[in-house]
Structure 1
Amino acid sequence: MRLRHIEIFHAIYMTGSITNAAQFLHVSQPSVSKVLAHAEMQLGFDLFQRVKGRLIPTAEANMLFNEVDKVYKQIRSVRNTAENIKKSKKGNINIGLAPALGFDLVPKAVAEFKKTHPDVNINIQTMHNEQVQQALLERKIDFALMFSPPPLPGITQKLVLQSQLMVVYPNKFFPEQPQSMNVEQLIDQEIIGIWDSGPLGDIVFNRITDQDIEMKCNIQVQTYFIAARLVAQEMGVCIIDEYTAKGNLCHKTSIATLSPSLHFNLQALHLTDQQLSQTSKHLLDEIHNVANI
């Protein structure tokens, strides 16, 4: 099957008729019919049967579709990559962010950056570690900002800054409102667990297990701001990154550093074979500057 055959077959299979497929592809109905007939002639079997005005896939078409769908998605990925490469030449920066960075750090840095780069377009997407590699390969983003990400093949990591994990607690749990706490002080408290949330969850879990401490944990989350909002409802305490902690403070909660401290790295990730543009480097510098104000 040629690429055009795949595109037409996929469209008819998904929409159920030549008319709908033609509308979806923005081509004429006769051209869709012609390509379909040519594909069936080359394959040597029918792909559809007409039943009450609809085209019903044959058994052979159903067997073929899974493989065709894989190729179709690859074609779409190539088109997306090509479009994003074209856009990158027009002063665009496409960034993938860990959600926690959207509370304070990156918005402030973007505001400062735009003062000196008013004509640069910035597109920000939130994503998690497991989504970064595909987004970079498809050129959907120029770089990603992630917390202590694992090594990825073909991806270069650059340290932007080092930060720390913090305890968020309800004021009524600790009326003295300490500014620094150790893990032992949390033993009798309900912990909002983030163990399955990625690298930061691993850091917290390792600290607790290394000290052979048993924690009460009946609520687990994978998103840090949800943990912080549960603390605001006085459901327990949590240990999360300082950006989410500071961005979700309210009159009922306080934050404290851990003693000894638990540090993590904010890394910028980009394709090894694609150097960052100067504008991207300037934005990363601005993020570093804002973090150290």
Structure 2
Amino acid sequence: MNLRQIEVFRAVMVSGSVTDAARLLCVSQPGISRMLGHIELQLGLKLFQRIKGKLRPTPEAQTLYAQVEQVYHGVKRIEDCARELKTGGGLALRVLASPSIALELLPQAVAETMAQFPDAHVYMETQLVREIVGQLVAGDADLAISSLPVDHPMLQCKPLGQWSLCCVFHVDHPFSKRRSLSPRDILKERLIAFSPDTPQGKALGQWSAEAHWPIDSKIEVRSGQVACALAATGAGIAVVDSLTAHAWAHPALAFRPITQAPTFNAYEIRNANVPPSLISNSLMTRIKEKLNG
């Protein structure tokens, strides 16, 4: 018996007549009668006695019905599962992110995604690129949003949008009166510097070389958050990523864009052999909108 035959047989058993079964399934009575005849012929069993226009199930039909109910409830559970998936039921998403992306951009996108999939479960963790690669390859995470690209044969890395560099400083600094700053403006100040292998450090090094102006720095960091915390105390100014600058809400800190500052891509990274889920696609759409909006 196929699923349609099971559905017709069950409708007749539940309703007790061809007429009511046809009404229940929104089909014609002759169609139900033909289907019952085909089922009996196929099985080689008499399933109903027709007495005065009514159908009386035989013992064979009652035994078959007990099995059909199990199948019906199994199909019902599948249908319920499919409906629940639309709201995230049974879905889990493990997301890794660079620290700057996890400050504001990703939390906002996750909150909006959870509003669409309220029954889903999301796990978030900040990681450096080398840890991101290891966890994605091992299957310990579903996707990552990184401020730097990766090159690995098992991973797919696609650009999502761009971020740039900003200058952060104490709110009492004269820069607060400016709408934007030039690299030369920045080089004249006492800097909270980054190591030369970071995007911030490379930009400062290039500006210094082009302007023939040495970098005045006694403090070096590797974290945009640490640089913002130091700048908020008046320890110096810093060049940080725009994601961190926008997310670092502190009454003592201000920031301005830098003219001719380089731009960098943010990336979606996932296992190339694992198709994305509905919830991960929704999350990535929101992140793209925020990066490019």
Corresponding residue number in structure 2 for 1:144: 144
3-state DSSP of counterpart to 1:180: coil
Deviation at 1:278, TM superposition (A): 2.8
Indicate the residue corresponding to 1:104 in structure 2.
104
Counting only pairs closer than 5 Å after superposition, residues 213-292 of structure 1 correspond to structure 2 as: 213-292=213-292
Using structure 1 for the length normalisation, give the TM-score. Answer: 0.64
Deviations 1:17-52 (A, max 9, x none): xxxxxxxxxxxxxxxxxxxxxxxxxxxxxxxxxxxx
Unaligned runs of 5+ in 2: 1-88
Q: CA deviation at 1:225?
A: 0.2
Between the aligned residues of both structures, percent identity stands at 19
Whether 2:136 is the aligned partner of 1:170: answer no
Q: Given the superposition, is the C-alpha separation of residues 267 and 201 from structure 1 closer, same or farther in structure 2, using an over 3 Å criterion?
A: farther
Question: When the two structures are aligned, how many residues end up with a matched partner?
Answer: 206
SS at match of 1:243: helix
**Runs of 5+ unmatched residues, structure 1:** 1-88
Query: 4+ residue runs of structure 1 moved beyond 4 angstroms?
Result: none
Counterpart position of 2:44? none
Q: CA deviation at 1:103?
A: 2.0
Q: Could you tell me how far apart the structure 2 residues matched to 1:197 and 1:224 are?
A: 14
Could you say which residue in structure 2 is the equivalent of 1:25? none
Corresponding residue of 2:123? 123
- Output the amino acid matched with 1:279: I
TM-score, scaled relative to structure 2: 0.64
Q: Deviations over 1:71-92 (max 9, x none)?
A: xxxxxxxxxxxxxxxxxx9411
Aligned-partner residue type, residue 124 of structure 1: M
Radius of gyration: which is bigger? 2
> Does the CA contact (< 8 Å) of 2:182 and 2:258 recur in 1?
yes
Matched residue of 2:230: which SS? helix
SS at match of 1:181: coil
Distance 1:245 1:289, change over 3 A: same
> Matches of 2:276 and 2:204 in 1, distance apart?
32
Other-structure match for 1:193: 193
d(CA) in 1 for partners of 2:199 and 2:276? 25
Distance 1:127 1:196, change over 3 A: farther
Q: Distance in 1 between matches of 2:199 and 2:268?
A: 15
CA distance 1:220–1:152, shift in 2 (3 Å): farther
Instruction: Give RMSD over aligned pairs.
Output: 2.3
Q: Which moved more, 1:215-224 or 1:248-257?
A: 248-257
